[in-house]
Structure 1
Amino acid sequence: MPPIKILIINPNTTQSMTDGLRAPVESLDYNNTSYTYHTSPHGPPSINSPSDAALSATLTLPSLLPLLPTHDAFLIACYSPHPLVSLLKTHTSKPVLGIFEASIYTALQLLKPNEKGEEKENEKFGIGLVRCGF
């Protein structure tokens, strides 16, 4: 069986941010999975606001369209509700996920309901931010 090909997308133009993704992603060591990394060729050097995110989505999309047929799934590596997630979904039926959404889904799975299936009052999760903007 050929490996599952996942495209890890950095929607900003800072190559060092993309390079910083390699070690943690590769350390997952999933069998039969290969990763390709993509840095946006145009746009802001970092995503610090919703307007930066919108601009980066618009400017990154054209460079991604030729890559859609050669990959099986797409991960947007920007911790925000990045508009590239929904924009890319309009161009492919393959899985597209942002790291923001992935963290929310994971946190929700860790919350355990009580014996009646109800949410426990004291089980919550939060998001810690290092800067404001979103």
Structure 2
Amino acid sequence: MQQMAWSDLERYLKVYRPRMLRCDSDYVFLAGSHGSTVRDPALPWTDLSRRVEHLTAKYLWRCAGIGTHAFRHLVATAIIKASDLSDFKTAALVLNDRMSTVEKNYAHLRSSEGANRMTELLGATLRRM
């Protein structure tokens, strides 16, 4: 794991997690399971994604709100678009997902690559036509 991630995790565990705890808990991340009907008093909220959606709607201009899963898409899209080679492998590693899954879900980001490569290879020929 990158050094920056370790420092962020340590800060979360030492500073922010204790602030959110309502009572002793063995949970590392203090959010309940999606759709869970059991309320754990140690958890500050039952649905972290809904809370993120509320906060993004409140603080992001002209945003109806996005859940936590949307951040996966933002990260994957940024990685793939930043690379000339559509770096699906790096995106899969960052998302802790299979490369085939990432390729399946983000192949649409490569749609212009074929046309661009064709222009590189056949541009002169096509211009003469």
Q: More helix by proportion, 1 or 2?
A: 2
Q: Which has the larger radius of gyration?
A: 2
Normalised to the residue count of structure 1, the TM-score between the two structures is 0.29
Q: TM-score, normalization: structure 2?
A: 0.30
Greater strand proportion: 1
